[in-house]
């Protein structure tokens, strides 16, 4: 015997409703899983960025410290050189003048001939 049409329609409607609920439930589960993956990825990216910023800050601090040490060494060496130059100037002024003349002559010999004056040009 055949079922009445209304009963068949009700069963079809119930199955469609059940299928729609399952589809909606699957969509919610998929969305929640995607949300969890996105949040996890965001958290890892944020942690990596924070780690990189901390490392960059540490490296900048180390570079600042090294630069400060180099500056201090250079300053101390300049003071020593200045002190030695003063001592030489006081104790041996002629040696200092002779050294300056020698350096001038050396630099003059390194200049190209076109920049040097010749005796012929002055006459």
pTM: 0.44
Distance CA 28, CA 31 (A): 5
Given a cut of 90, is residue 9 above it in pLDDT? no
Distance CA 62, CA 24 (A): 56
> In the chain, what are the domain boundaries?
5-113
With contact defined as beta carbons under 8 Å apart, do 116 and 108 qualify?
Answer: yes
Given a cut of 80, is residue 115 above it in pLDDT? no
3-state secondary structure of 116: coil
16 to 11, 19, 28, 78, 113: CA distances (angstroms): 9, 5, 18, 91, 102
With contact defined as beta carbons under 8 Å apart, do 96 and 89 qualify?
Answer: yes
Q: What is the pLDDT of residues 72-102, one digit of tens each?
A: 999 999 999 999 888 888 888 888 888 889 9
Q: What is the pLDDT of residues 32-73, one digit of tens each?
A: 999 999 999 999 999 999 999 999 999 999 999 999 999 999
* Confidence class for position 117, pLDDT limits 50, 70, 90: low
């Amino acid at each position: 015997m055949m079922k009445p049409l209304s009963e068949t329609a009700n069963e079809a409607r119930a199955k469609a409703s059940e299928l729609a609920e399952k589809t909606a439930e699957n969509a919610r589960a998929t969305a929640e899983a995607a949300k969890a993956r996105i949040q996890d990825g965001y958290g890892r990216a944020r942690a990596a960025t924070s780690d990189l910023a901390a490392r960059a800050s540490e490296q900048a601090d180390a570079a600042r410290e090294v630069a400060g040490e180099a500056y201090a060494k250079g300053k101390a060496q300049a003071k020593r050189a200045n002190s030695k130059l003063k001592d030489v100037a006081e104790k041996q002024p002629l040696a200092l003048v002779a050294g300056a003349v020698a350096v001038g002559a050396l630099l003059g010999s390194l200049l190209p001939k076109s920049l040097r004056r010749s005796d012929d040009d002055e006459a």
